[in-house]
A and B are shown apart, each in its own frame.
Chain A
Amino acid sequence: GAGVSQSPRYKVAKRGQDVALRCDPISGHVSLFWYQQALGQGPEFLTYFQNEAQLDKSGLPSDRFFAERPEGSVSTLKIQRTQQEDSAVYLCASSPPGTSDTDTQYFGPGTRLTVL
């Protein structure tokens, strides 16, 4: 079946611009995660949703970062007034409900954000 999809795949922004990154999780997946992956590093947790509820946003680096999942499916990660240090690949992952596979996360291709 279809995997996690993300759009756009690449985004170039000028410093100070706002950006919005979209994630379409696997159909029926309850949990949704956002991660940030800087060059040469492993992914770092940003935020977590269970259905439409944002249960953990402790990884968001500043109040310029905002995520939502209003209907419990598609999620958007918004970054306001982008800075050069925001340049990274933003990964979305989802996991299924109520099975032994609950703790396994399935990743999308990521959005590579470059801030000039």
Chain B
Amino acid sequence: AQSVSQHNHHVILSEAASLELGCNYSYGGTVNLFWYVQYPGQHLQLLLKYFSGDPLVKGIKGFEAEFIKSKFSFNLRKPSVQWSDTAEYFCAVNAPRYGNNRLAFGKGNQVVVIP
């Protein structure tokens, strides 16, 4: 079955540390890839997305993600986190061959940044 996997559901790190969140998917063919973030008390917001072109995608707030097709991965990175990056992060995949634009989400990574 098609799925999106995120590991290390809970991540705790100190300010200025580097962050990397893994995302793997099992869909074949063309995919569109997204990272969404949900800050405490707020709704899901788009962090960055990949449709085609340069596999290294830069998003808001210093985040970037790299699409590696051979590994079916789309990992999120930030070199130096801030306390305000405390949030839940969701990887999502849209696979057009499976119809419409429905998103399949991973279970999320709860990230806590300690000041």
Contact = CB atoms under 8 A, between A and B. Distances in A.
Chain A, interface residues (CB within 8 Å), range: 20 to 34
Interface string B86-115: 000010101000011111111110000000
Given A33-B102, A56-B102, A107 B44 contact: yes
Chain B interface residue bracket vs A:
20 to 34
A42 B101 contact: no
B43 interface: yes
B51 interface: yes
Given A40-B107, A42-B90, A91-B44, A107 B102 contact: no
A56 B105 contact: no
Interface stretch (A16-24, A78-86, A95-103): A95-103
Given A33-B102, A56-B102, A107 B36 contact: yes
A95 to B, nearest CB: 7
A42 B107 contact: yes
B32 A103 contact: yes
Nearest to B103: A105
Interface of A: 3-4, 31, 33, 35, 40-45, 48, 50, 55-56, 59, 91, 93, 95, 100, 102-110
Given A45-B104, A103-B51, A107-B45, 9 more contacts: A31-B100, A33-B101, A42-B4, A42-B105, A93-B103, A103-B49, A105-B101, A105-B103, A109-B43
